[in-house]
Structures are given as structure tokens and as C-alpha cells.
């Protein structure tokens, strides 16, 4: 108790009051004696007895006034110190609870001064830690769920092949190979997300030829869309300025958007890959006709492992990581992501900042600087 902040502050206050009273008393007594002696000498009065009475009265008045002032100062000081110490004790308790893993407690508001701002910062920290803990638990549960199905399939068929129950037909081997590839894709996606979380993935910025990227994706995905009875088209504005980004990451983000449309768009839907101008940026978007995303699901489609339609099978809906990777790629470039779904059309997009003027300058005679980026695409 004696080592607590409360008693230390009160002790310091007592010491300051005592020193002030002593200094004031000594100075007042000396000044009063000097003035009193000067008056007595002017009127030729013997000051011995009167001076003694004057000093006794002065000391009595000084003592009484000092006690009253000290009492008032201690009362107001106690109130002020308690207003400081009580919130600090609450913050100490909250910090101990956070250290034990209890992130649900919050501090009451303490005004807008430094103590109140500190309490609000602790509340925000607790809320952030609670969110991170929830995401961690969801991640573990979702990863376990995503791994359970292909591993169970692989285990069942391998045991059947081992026991001779199922013949090793080409169809069975192809199916098992597909399950292994799905596991590899899931692990690769999780590894890439972990790199973004650790800020390990650093974009290698060059001038990207977005037209070549869109043409290539249209050519690659066109046959698959046609096989499913879906149309795939592209829309590109040739007047767009150059974009400075990592061509590999931009290509992956756009492929994830196209894969998302391939999974979720209904049969006979029309899918469009578009590159449009935005405020200080270029927006790459993939839109499709058909069933709209519900307003409750739309704000969450970029969250990890989120699936808007819970009835979708794992094979149809994917693992729910593709759009999360798109968001991380956009953030790594200083861009944004978004989605809209209305009037029978759903659009998912991400943006990239425009290239600086120096980056758009020619790198050499007869050769545009963006040629290296185009070659990588």
C-alpha cells in the first residue's frame, strides 16, 4: 500500500505543502519583525513586549491559515489523484486480463483527456486482439475443414486400392490426382496469404501491359467458358495511361476474379473482363450476369474462407481464399477492392495506381519501357 502510486502522489503533495508553509512562515516572520521594529522606533516605543505578542499572534494566524489551506489542498489533491489512479487501476486489470487471453472486457469512458484517450486505445487494442483471435480460430477450423474432405477421399481410395476392393483404373488415378492438386492449391494459397500477412511479398513494379494480360486470359479461359455454355468478352480502353505494378501479381489477381466468375456465374451467363479508368487509378473488373449476391453477403466476399452461399459444395465453391488474395495484392500496390451486385449483374474489381510520369518514359531507342513487363505476362 505504501508503495502505491496514490500514496506516493499524496506524500509528494504533503512535502510540497510543508516546504511552502515553512518558507512562507520564515519569510513572513522576518518581514513582519523588520516592519514592526521600524514603526516602533519611529514613535519611540519600547518594542520588546509588543514584539513578542505580535510574533505569537502572527505564528498562530499563520499556523491556522496553513492548516486550512493544507486541508483544502489535500482534499482537492485527493480528488484529482483518485481521478488519475482509479482509471489506471482499471487499465492495469484490463491489461492483466488481456495477457491471460480474455479479450472481451472493455474500460468505461473517462473523458477526452490523456487518461480517456489511453483507455480508448486499450479498448481498441482489446477489440483488435479479439478480432485476431477470432480470425485465428476460424482459420484453424476452416483449414481443418478444407483438408478433411480431400484427405478422407484419398485415404478411402488408397485403402480400397491397397485391399484390392477397387481396381487401379485410369479414372480413379485421375480423380486422386485432382484431389492432390486441390490440396496443393490450398496450401499454396495459404502460403501466399501468410507472406502478405508477414509483409514478405514485395511487388516488383514495372509498367504492365494490361491489354496483353486481358487478351491472354480471354484466350486461356475462353474454351472453358464456351464448354459451360457461358460467354466471355473483354472491354479495354486504349486511352488508359500506363500502370506501374507487379505483372505476376496483377495477373494472379485477375485470374482469381475470372475463376470466381467461372465458379459462381450460372449457365449461359455473360462474363466480361473490363479495364476502366478510375480516379488516379485503373480499375480491373470482372462482371457477370445472373443471380445477384445478397446485400448481407456482399460486404464479406473478400474475407478469408467466406462463402456467400453455404449450400455450395466444396468442389463448386472453392476454399474462399481467391478473393482474399485479390485484396492483399491490391493493398500491396496501394489499390483498393470492391464489388457491386444489382439489376442482374455482379461486378468484382480491384484498382491499381497509375504509373509515375518517369516510369512511362521510353527506356531506349525504339523500345518501350513496358516491354519487359509485357514479356513476363
pLDDT above 70: percentage of residues in the chain: 74
Residue 314 is predicted with a pLDDT of 43
User: How distant, in Å, are the alpha carbons of 46, 236, 249, 280, 335 from that of 244?
Assistant: 100, 17, 12, 12, 11
Residue 359 is predicted with a pLDDT of 41
Domain range summary for the chain, segments of one domain joined by +: 5-102, 125-197, 206-376
Residue 365 is predicted with a pLDDT of 39
User: How distant, in Å, are the alpha carbons of 7, 59, 312, 334 from that of 351?
Assistant: 58, 81, 29, 9
Residue 49 is predicted with a pLDDT of 62
Q: What is the pLDDT of residues 268-294, one digit of tens each?
A: 899 999 998 888 889 999 999 988 888
Residue 350 is predicted with a pLDDT of 93
Q: 206-376 domain in CATH 3.30.565.10?
A: yes
What band does 318 get if pLDDT is binned at 50, 70 and 90?
Answer: low
pLDDT above 90: percentage of residues in the chain: 11
pTM of the model: 0.57
Q: What is the pLDDT of residues 257-271, one digit of tens each?
A: 998 888 888 888 999
Average pLDDT across the chain, whole number: 76
Domains 125-197 and 206-376 share a fold: no
CATH code given to domain 125-197: 1.10.287.130
The DSSP H or E segment spanning 70 is helix 48-99
Output 303 or 219, whichever has higher pLDDT. 219
Sheet holding 270-278, edge to edge: 231-236, 270-278, 281-289, 345-353, 337-342
* Full DSSP string of 241-284: PPEEE-HHHHHHHHHHHHHHHHHHSPTT-EEEEEEEEETTEEEE
pLDDT at 348 over 90: yes
What band does 95 get if pLDDT is binned at 50, 70 and 90?
Answer: confident
Task: State the greatest distance between any 2 C-alpha atoms of the chain, in Å, as a whole number.
Answer: 135
Q: Could you give the CA distance from residue 47 to residue 45 in angstroms, rounded to a whole number?
A: 6
Q: Of 16-30, 94-108, 310-324, 358-372, where does mean pLDDT reach its minimum?
A: 358-372
Q: Could you give the CA distance from residue 112 to residue 89 in angstroms, rounded to a whole number?
A: 18
Residue 377 is predicted with a pLDDT of 33
Amino acid at each position: 500500500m505504501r508503495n502505491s502510486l496514490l500514496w506516493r502522489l499524496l506524500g509528494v503533495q504533503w512535502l510540497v505543502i510543508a516546504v511552502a508553509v515553512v518558507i512562507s512562515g520564515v519569510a513572513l516572520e522576518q518581514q513582519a519583525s523588520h516592519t514592526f521594529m521600524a514603526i516602533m522606533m519611529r514613535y519611540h516605543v519600547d518594542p520588546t513586549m509588543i514584539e513578542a505578542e505580535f510574533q505569537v499572534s502572527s505564528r498562530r494566524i499563520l499556523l491556522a491559515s496553513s492548516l486550512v489551506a493544507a486541508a483544502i489542498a489535500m482534499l482537492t489533491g485527493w480528488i484529482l489523484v483518485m481521478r488519475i489512479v482509479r482509471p489506471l487501476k482499471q487499465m492495469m486489470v484490463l491489461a492483466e486480463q488481456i495477457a491471460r487471453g480474455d479479450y472481451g472486457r472493455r474500460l468505461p469512458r473517462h473523458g477526452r483527456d490523456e487518461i480517456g484517450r489511453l483507455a480508448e486505445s486499450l479498448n481498441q487494442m482489446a477489440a483488435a486482439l479479439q478480432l485476431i483471435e477470432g480470425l485465428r480460430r476460424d482459420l484453424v477450423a476452416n483449414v481443418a475443414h478444407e483438408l478433411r474432405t480431400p484427405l478422407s477421399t484419398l485415404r478411402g481410395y488408397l485403402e480400397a486400392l491397397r485391399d484390392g476392393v477397387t481396381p487401379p483404373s485410369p479414372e480413379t488415378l485421375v480423380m486422386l490426382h485432382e484431389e492432390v492438386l486441390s490440396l496443393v492449391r490450398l496450401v499454396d494459397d495459404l502460403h501466399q496469404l501468410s507472406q502478405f500477412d508477414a509483409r514478405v511479398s514485395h511487388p516488383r513494379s514495372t509498367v504492365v501491359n494490361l491489354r496483353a494480360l486481358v487478351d491472354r486470359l480471354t484466350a486461356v479461359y475462353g474454351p472453358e467458358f464456351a464448354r459451360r455454355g457461358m460467354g466471355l468478352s473483354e472491354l479495354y480502353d486504349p486511352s488508359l495511361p500506363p500502370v506501374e505494378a507487379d505483372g505476376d501479381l496483377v495477373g494472379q489477381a485477375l485470374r482469381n476474379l475470372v475463376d470466381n466468375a467461372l465458379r459462381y456465374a450460372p449457365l449461359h451467363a455473360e462474363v466480361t473482363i473490363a479495364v476502366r479508368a478510375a480516379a488516379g487509378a485503373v480499375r480491373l473488373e470482372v462482371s457477370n450476369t445472373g443471380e445477384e449476391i445478397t446485400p448481407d453477403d456482399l460486404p464479406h466476399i473478400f474475407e478469408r474462407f467466406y462463402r456467400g452461399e453455404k449450400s455450395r459444395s466444396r468442389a463448386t465453391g472453392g476454399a474462399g481464399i481467391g478473393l482474399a488474395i485479390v485484396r492483399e495484392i491490391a493493398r500491396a500496390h496501394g489499390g483498393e477492392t470492391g464489388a457491386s451486385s444489382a439489376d442482374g449483374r455482379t461486378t468484382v474489381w480491384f484498382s491499381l495506381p497509375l504509373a509515375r510520369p518517369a516510369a512511362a518514359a521510353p527506356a531506349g531507342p525504339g523500345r518501350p519501357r513496358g516491354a519487359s513487363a509485357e514479356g513476363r505476362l
